[in-house]
């Protein structure tokens, strides 16, 4: 049975690492639904957040293979119930929406969206939420003439309270390796 999993991969900052990680998915013919990369809460450590829909057996094999990459400190996977997540979307619609200001304002308000830019030709609306909220707003705004649409990948934090700093300290104690540049909090 396929389930949607969010993978968090904590790494050193190395050129080509993201490519090597995505090749692991490609070789297994696994489609990446979304991917984001950013700094983590620990200086010098980066986080990739990757969303896939696979079986539990496949996700455990993926994590094991990702963990084997030299610059990967640790990879974790979680189901949606174990994380708090959001996406952001930008909708560029025709400025003609202002001709129907009451309806346009109602849609923006009901969807907890906000206008981030207005010009004589277009309006840019921003929405943060889950995938369904973002798609619902897209469907509502289409009547005004969708000119452009962009959506980020999932950004997520876990509900369990074990932090990356705690995990790194355990790793350091277990392996007797000093991880100097990771302990700069």
Instruction: Looking at the structure, tell me whether residues 100 and 121 fall in a common domain.
Output: yes
Beta strand 3-11 with 146-151 is unpaired
Element (H, E) at 109: helix 101-110
Verify that 79 and 93 share a domain, yes or no.
no
Residue 77: strand pairing partners: 7
What pLDDT was estimated at residue 170? 67
Beta bridge partners of 146: 93
Q: Are residues 128 and 174 in the same domain?
A: no
pLDDT of residue 168: 67
Residues 144 and 163 in one domain: no
Does this model's pTM top 0.85? My answer is no
The per-residue pLDDT for 175 is 55
- CA–centroid distance for 123 within its chain: 25
Q: Looking at the structure, do residues 68 and 10 belong to the same domain, yes or no?
A: yes
Nearest C-alpha neighbor of 151 from the set 68, 34, 44: 34
CB 126 within 8 A of CB 88: yes
Which CATH number does the domain housing residue 110 bear?
3.30.70.1150
Residue 63 and residue 123 in one domain = no
Same domain, 63 and 77: yes
My answer on whether 165 and 130 are in the same domain is no
Count of domains for the chain:
2
Whether residues 44 and 26 share a domain: the answer is: yes
Residue 152: both structure tokens together: 């980020």
Name the percent of the chain in helix, strand, coil, to the closest 5: 40, 35, 25
- Looking at the fold, whether 16 and 76 belong to one and the same domain comes out as yes
- Geometric angle at alpha carbon 37, from 56 and 178, rounded to 5°: 85
Q: What is the pLDDT of residue 185?
A: 37
Give the model's pLDDT for residue 36: 93
The SS3 of residue 43 is coil
CA distance 107 to 144: 11
| CATH number of the domain enclosing 169 | 3.30.70.260
Handedness of CA 168, 172, 177, 182 (dihedral sign): positive
Q: Which residue range(s) make up the domain with 125?
A: 89-151
Closest CA to 34 of 73, 54, 6: 6
Per-residue tens of pLDDT for the chain, all 185 residues? 899 999 999 998 888 899 999 999 999 999 999 999 999 888 888 999 999 999 999 999 999 999 998 899 889 999 989 999 999 999 999 998 888 889 999 999 999 999 999 999 999 999 999 999 999 999 999 999 999 999 998 999 888 766 666 766 666 666 544 443 443 33
Q: Are residues 126 and 173 in the same domain?
A: no
The two tokens of residue 79 are 């189901």
């Amino acid at each position: 049975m396929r389930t949607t999993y969010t993978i968090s991969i904590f790494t050193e900052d190395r050129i080509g690492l993201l490519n090597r990680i995505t090749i692991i998915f490609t070789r297994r013919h696994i489609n990446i639904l979304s991917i984001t990369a950013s700094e983590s809460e620990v200086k010098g450590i980066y986080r990739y957040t990757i969303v896939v829909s696979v079986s539990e057996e496949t996700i455990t094999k993926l994590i094991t293979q990702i963990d084997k990459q030299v610059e990967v400190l640790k990879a974790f996977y979680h189901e949606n119930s174990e994380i708090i997540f959001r996406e952001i979307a930008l909708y560029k619609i025709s400025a003609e929406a202002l001709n129907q200001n009451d309806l346009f304002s109602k849609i923006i308000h009901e969807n907890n969206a906000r206008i981030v830019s207005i010009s004589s030709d277009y309006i840019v609306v921003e929405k943060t939420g889950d995938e369904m909220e973002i798609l619902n707003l897209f469907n509502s705004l289409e009547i005004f003439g969708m000119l452009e649409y962009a959506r980020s990948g999932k950004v997520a934090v876990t509900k369990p309270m074990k932090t990356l700093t705690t995990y790194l300290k355990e790793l350091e104690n277990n392996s007797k390796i000093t991880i100097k540049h990771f302990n700069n909090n």
